[in-house]
Amino acid sequence: MEEEFNEVEQVEQNDSRIERDDILTMKDELVAAKEELSFVKEELRKAKESSDNNLNKLKYMVADFDNYRKQMDKQVASKIEESKAELMLRFLNIRDDYVRAVEIAKQSKAELVVVEGLEGILKNFDHLLKSEGVIDIETLETPFDPNVHDAISFSYHDDLPESTVTDEIRKGYMLDNKVLRPSLVEISKKIVKNTVNDTEKAEKGTDN
């Protein structure tokens, strides 16, 4: 009987040792799992940080490229405008020649067919210029505007405000709301009367 009891006690002790060993093993495994989890979290953090950095770099690259594209678009548009303006100026110079040719033809009493032919060419020029956005600058009897007018002469007038455009020597034009060619104009000046001399003359006349 006592032997059986000892055997049972021995079995229980063995089971207890096994349970303790299992618990210790589980604790070790849990610690290892926690360490592995911490390692994985750290690796994920590093990966996210690297991904964020790469994403920011990509955003900067996209922004830089977008700015470059916009700058190139502006340069191309500006170049097109400059080329168009140069071409329109050449047409204007040719038009000026035809205007002079019409005037000479009329003064020399050339044949009507010649005058009409030149005037027809002028109309075609004007139609072309208008279709490209070239418009006349208003001049006659308007106040002098240094932004669109170049004054090259003046004349005295008592019946006009100072610096009124009295004559257009060369027609000016606008293109896309910019001055393509300023108008060459004559402007008015007021006649300044010499009141001092007039007073002296009046006084001398009184003395006599």
> In order of start, what are the domains of the chain with their CATH numbers?
136-208 (2.30.22.10)
Q: What is the mean pLDDT of each run of 10 residues along the chain (208 residues)?
A: 52 57 73 82 85 87 90 92 94 92 89 90 92 94 95 92 94 94 95 61 52
**What phi and psi values does residue 148 have, to the nearest 5 degrees?**
-130, -10
Write down the pLDDT at residue 30: 79
pLDDT in tens, 109-141: 888 888 899 999 999 989 999 999 999 999 999
Write down the pLDDT at residue 32: 80
Write down the pLDDT at residue 163: 92
Cβ contact 148:171 at 8 Å: no
Instruction: Provide the pairing of β-strand 149-156 with 134-136.
Output: unpaired
d(CA 76, CA 200): 69
d(CA 14, CA 183): 117
The reported pTM is 0.62
Q: Would you give the distance in Å from CA 7 to the centre of its chain?
A: 100
Q: For residue 181, which of 91, 76, 77 has the smallest C-alpha distance?
A: 91
